Amino acid sequence: MIKPNSTWLVLILFSLISTGCKPIVNYFSFHPDKVNVIATEDLPANVEEITITTEDKVKIISLYLLSTGSEKLLIYFHGNAGNIYHRIPDLLHLQKSGFNIIGVSYRGYGKSEGSPSEAGIYLDGKAVYQYALEELGFSAENIIILGRSIGSTVATNLAQHKNLHGLILVTPLSNGKGQAEASGLGLISTFAGDAFDNLTKIDNLNSPLLVIHGTQDRVVPFLMGEAIFSRAKTEKKFIKIEGASHNDLQSAYSKKYWMPILKFMNDGVTEQR
């Protein structure tokens, strides 16, 4: 076994810096589940799988919930753990708005091909958006993008410079470095560089914005949601859910969570925070 010495450590550090430390960022950012999926024949009656090929030729298997007669669509980007099949109850709840829904399965998650990375999930988001426009026939002004937790980074990246019906960010992180620091990763946070930089990209948002965050969120701190909201220059509304943490928004605070989302989907921004 080769024992590490100062020369090896310098070479390893240089390698990490020269590659943008992407392996470290990806290792700590993504926790995909490819095992606990639902067989196609066992999906709810109004949920179907759609296969979308990204520009780098990765096939992602996402879920489509059709609302007959509706010209509106919500594209949903989930958090960093599990897979889209775990979010079917959320997708069904969102469909109560009357919107069509696409629940995106990132590369490396669920039944999708590939391995997740920051650049990769951005390509996944781009491919789904193009599919919605070109294959399903939706127009940009009738599309809402919703991103939760790390999904907020895909949503924000995708929403830049577009005139959408709206953008919904649930427990959004400000950037990778801040998230690493909040997660107690210490020195490793310096390797994040400009990864997952929601705070800068929100400057490029043209569409109405809804931000939802729990005050007791120990995973993505509440201050991050506030920072994103404060920086946005568009019509916007902030929903502060007192006492809520990262993973109990839909359960313990169901009414406070879902009512603003469904109202925003149908009515837009009626008042600011």
Which residue bears the tokens 């931000």?
211
Alpha-helical (H) ranges within the chain are: 6-18, 22-29, 88-95, 118-134, 151-159, 176-182, 198-201, 222-231, 254-267
Q: Which residue in the list 90, 124, 197, 217 is annotated as catalytic?
A: 217
Q: Which residues contact 128 (CB under 8 A, 6 or more apart)?
A: 52, 60, 62, 75, 102, 104
* Gap between the Cα atoms of 127 and 73, Å rounded: 15
Tokens of 246: 């990262």
* Gap between the Cα atoms of 46 and 223, Å rounded: 38
The vertex-166 CA angle with 203 and 134, nearest 5°, equals 105
* Gap between the Cα atoms of 250 and 191, Å rounded: 33
Tokens of 227: 């920072």
Q: Report the amino acid identity of residue 271.
A: E
* Gap between the Cα atoms of 171 and 265, Å rounded: 18
149 is known as an active-site residue:
yes
Tokens of 224: 């991050």
246 is known as an active-site residue:
yes
Q: Which residue in the list 149, 152, 174, 207 is annotated as catalytic?
A: 149
93 is known as an active-site residue:
no
Q: Which residues contact 181 (CB under 8 A, 6 or more apart)?
A: 189
Q: Parallel, antiparallel, or unpaired: how do β-strands 59-65 and 47-53 relate?
A: antiparallel
Residues carrying an active site annotation: 149, 217, 246
